[in-house]
């Protein structure tokens, strides 16, 4: 079955990435640029959260499904693959010279950590967590304030992507 969607890709898909970034990084959202194509079916946004640059791309144009999130910091790089439900944390060690058996060699390693991720259907898990919180009169994992902040950032991205500032056209 074909899924019909009248929302832009920002409202349909990227909003989830905005929420993940919000849960991982603290601080104010600084600046931001976004560009969109294909009547809202493709968008890329670049902004910073607490000084950490974030780049998000969402598209319904690709022939294969790609659902990745990359976060680059001064330290580690984080790669989330939503389809495979995996997380990789890439770290670089400091370069060094190592002496072994009279030979001196240069070594600069990359370390990749693979934290355990509890797999499952994200939407089902989200709804179960919400209903459990409501039944038990507990605070939900995502508060109304959290949701409003995500909607605000996604709305800004969508506005920039759908109505970019006027620039000279390249012919």
Express each pLDDT in 65-86 by its tens digit.
777 888 888 888 889 888 888 9
Q: What is the pTM of this model?
A: 0.73
Cβ atoms of 91 and 113 within 8 Å: the answer is yes
Find the length of the chain.
171
Average pLDDT over residues 23-33: 85
Distance of CA 116 to the CA centre of its chain: 19
Determine how many CB atoms are found less than 10 A away from the CB of residue 58. 26
Distance of CA 9 to the CA centre of its chain: 14
In whole angstroms, what is the distance from residue 148 CA to residue 48 CA?
18
Confidence of residue 165 (pLDDT cuts 50, 70, 90): low
Tokens representing 167 are: 């620039």
Average pLDDT over residues 153-162: 89
3-state helix, strand, coil in the chain (%, to 5): 30, 35, 35
* Pairing status of strand 42-49 against strand 52-59: antiparallel
Helix (H, G, I), strand (E, B) or coil at 65: coil
Q: Which residue has the higher pLDDT, 134 or 100?
A: 134
């Amino acid at each position: 079955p074909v899924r019909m969607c009248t929302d832009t890709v920002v409202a349909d898909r990227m909003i989830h990435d905005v929420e993940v970034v919000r849960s991982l990084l603290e601080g104010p959202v600084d600046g931001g640029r976004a560009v969109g194509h294909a009547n809202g079916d493709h968008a890329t946004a670049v902004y910073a959260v607490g000084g950490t640059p974030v780049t998000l791309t969402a598209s319904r144009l690709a022939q294969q499904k790609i659902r990745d999130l990359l976060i680059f910091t001064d330290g580690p790089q984080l790669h989330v693959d939503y389809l495979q439900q995996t997380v990789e944390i890439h770290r670089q060690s400091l370069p060094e010279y190592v002496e072994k058996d009279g030979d001196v060699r240069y070594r600069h390693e990359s370390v990749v950590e693979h934290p355990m991720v509890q797999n499952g259907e994200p939407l089902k898990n989200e709804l179960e967590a919400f209903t459990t919180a409501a039944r038990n009169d507990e605070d939900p994992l995502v508060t109304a304030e959290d949701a409003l902040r995500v909607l605000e950032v996604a709305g800004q991205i969508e506005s920039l992507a759908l109505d970019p500032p006027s620039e000279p056209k390249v012919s």
